[in-house]
């Protein structure tokens, strides 16, 4: 009799878990991904084509992670959050790299102008 009660208890617990309708989304990973997206936006990723692409990928991956978690696939949701964080970090680095290259081009141009001015004094 106790075995039957135990089995029904386990069955009830299983049904309750399945009926919850989703897996817990790691709030830590979600916060990290959102923070990385915000940092990329603040770093100018929206203004650089390559960076903007990775920023958009990060947003889409976060949305996919939420969808997967709602369907009960917490493992894949976690992987998508990792991908979102990495894509957002890449977007930030690409934006910074482009900004630094532009600064280097401007410095090079000023140097050329100074050298040209020294060769042709007034």
Q: What is the DSSP string of 64-96?
A: HHHHHHHTT-HHHHHHHHHHHHHHHHHHHHHHH
Q: Is 3 a domain residue?
A: no
Given a cut of 90, is residue 58 above it in pLDDT? yes
Specify if 12 maps to a domain.
no
How far apart (Å, rounded) are the C-alpha atoms in residues 67 and 64?
5
With beta carbons less than 8 A apart as the criterion, state whether 55 and 46 touch.
yes
Using one digit for the tens of pLDDT, what is the confidence trace for 2-35? 665 555 454 444 434 444 456 788 899 999 999 9
In a domain, 84, yes or no: yes
Q: Which CATH number belongs to the domain containing residue 34 in this structure?
A: 1.20.1270
CA neighbor of 22 nearest in space, from 65, 70, 64, 63: 70
Q: Which residues contact 25 (CB under 8 A, 6 or more apart)?
A: 65, 66, 69, 74, 77, 81
* Number of domains the chain is built from: 1
Does the residue 10 lie in any domain? no
In this structure, is residue 52 part of a structural domain?
yes
The pTM score is 0.71
Q: Domain range for residue 99?
A: 25-119
Is residue 5 included in any domain, yes or no?
no
Residue 55: strand, helix, or coil: helix
Residue 6: inside a domain, yes or no? no
Determine, yes or no, domain membership for 86: yes
The whole-chain average pLDDT of the chain stands at 85
């Amino acid at each position: 009799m106790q075995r039957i009660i135990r089995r029904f208890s386990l069955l009830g617990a299983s049904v309750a878990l399945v009926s919850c309708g989703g897996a817990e989304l790691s709030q830590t990973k979600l916060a990290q991904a959102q923070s990385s997206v915000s940092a990329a936006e603040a770093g100018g990723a929206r203004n650089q084509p390559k960076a903007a692409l990775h920023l958009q990928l990060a947003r889409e991956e976060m949305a996919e992670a939420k969808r997967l978690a709602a369907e009960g696939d917490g493992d894949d949701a976690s992987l998508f959050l990792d991908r979102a964080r990495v894509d957002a970090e890449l977007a930030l680095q690409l934006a910074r790299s482009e900004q630094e290259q532009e600064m280097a081009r401007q410095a090079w141009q000023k140097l050329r102008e100074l050298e040209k001015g020294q060769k042709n004094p007034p």
